[in-house]
Amino acid sequence: MTISINRRTFSIGAGALALAAAGFSPARAQQAFFRIGTGGTSGTYYPVGGLIANAISATGAAGVEGLVATA
């Protein structure tokens, strides 16, 4: 048993599939802010909080996408 699909039917199906795929594109991530409480800038924990904030805010695989952390 063979199935015969003409060019017009194939084009309509492919166009409908392309429109459906375009409608379901993922939403862009919104930027979120995260504050790390470390005390005063001359304190012991401020540099540690700064390092953690930089690691979280880093671009690429090291950080969290769309998150900006501050200490």
pLDDT digits (tens, 9 = 90+) for 12-45: 777 777 766 666 656 666 778 888 888 888 888 8
- For residues 10 and 3, what is the distance between their CA atoms, to the nearest angstrom? 12
Sequence spans of domains, the chain = 28-71
Q: How confident is the model at residue 56 (pLDDT cuts 50, 70, 90)?
A: confident
- For residues 57 and 42, what is the distance between their CA atoms, to the nearest angstrom? 22
Burial class (CB in 10 A: 0-12, 13-18, 19+), 7: exposed
What does the mean pLDDT of the chain come to? 77
Per the model's pLDDT, the better-predicted residue between 55 and 21 turns out to be 55
